[in-house]
Amino acid sequence: MEERKVPEHIGIIMDGNGRWAKKRGLPRSEGHKAGANVFRRICDYADEIGIKYITFYAFSTENWRRPPDEVAALMDLFRDYLHEAEERREENKEKGMRIHFIGHREGVPQDITELFDTTEEESRDAGRIDVNIAINYGGRLEITDAVKAIARKVKSGELDPEDITEDDISANIYTAGQPDPDLIIRPSGEYRLSNFLLWQSAYSEFWTTDILWPDFTTDDFDRAIDDYNSRARRFGAV
């Protein structure tokens, strides 16, 4: 049993795949492939140690600007994972993994969004760990979507603008009903949120490492959690 306090929700920005591949003289797509395997390992490990929610940043709304062959390679990796999830339906149920895809579905190839639906549907009753996979996700877009939903309620007379609270925003973002991330991990030596969970990360602890995502191990994940345990979260109080 875990002695230390594991965060309830961890967010991960899977960064450094391109540099990992470049260092080895490989195409960037090989870095993403290695990164996808690390995603699987960390996902399983998070479940093993009792994390309740984990959010992976897999593809941002800005990532469409990458070369078409790189975008296609990433979509292929998502497809592989989704087919695998279909094949391992029973195993995943046992693992208790409830999977959610957060982000805009428009723009993502239809065969993939159909697999998003099946995967979400089939894992709906699992309840040990909620895994959010952010694909075609942008934090500003998410907040804009929430504002639109609230504006529609105002327009229909259901809601008075003066009564809008932070809880209304929280209830209209993609992670509605889930706790905000306690800890956000970003490998590859960058110190940016890059449009990830902007609303949810108001009080998240941030942990970075120079290690590139394809080299990231369960030991690194443990180090991040140990470090989180040593921090005092004051939420603005003293």
* Residue number, nearest CB to ligand FPP: 18
To which residue do tokens 């110190």 refer?
191
The mark string for 121-160 relative to ligand FPP (x by CB under 6 A, - otherwise) is ------------x---------------------------
Specify the pairing of strand 129-137 against strand 183-186: unpaired
Residue 96 burial (CB < 10 Å; 0-12/13-18/19+)? middle
Residues 220, 211 contacting (CB under 8 angstroms): yes
Active-site choice (63, 145, 168, 222): 63
Q: In this structure, are residues 54 and 46 in contact, taking their beta carbons and an 8 Å threshold?
A: yes
CB of 82 to ligand FPP, least distance (A): 8
**Residue from the set 12, 15, 142, 220 that interacts with ligand FPP by CB under 6 A:** 15
**Minimum distance, C-beta of residue 121 to ligand FPP, in the bound complex (Å):** 18
How crowded is the C-beta side of 40, counted as CA atoms within 13 Å?
15
What is the dihedral sign for C-alpha 85, 89, 90, 94? Answer: positive
**Half-sphere CA count of 137, side-chain side, radius 13 A:** 24
Residues in 75-114 at the binding interface with ligand FPP, rule: CB under 6 A: 77-78, 81
Is residue 30 at the binding interface for ligand FPP, with CB under 6 A as the rule? no
Q: Give me the 161-200 binding string for ligand FPP, x by CB under 6 A, dash otherwise.
A: ---------------------------x------------
Residues that bind ligand FPP (CB under 6 A): 14-19, 32, 35-36, 39, 56, 58, 63, 74, 77-78, 81, 133, 188
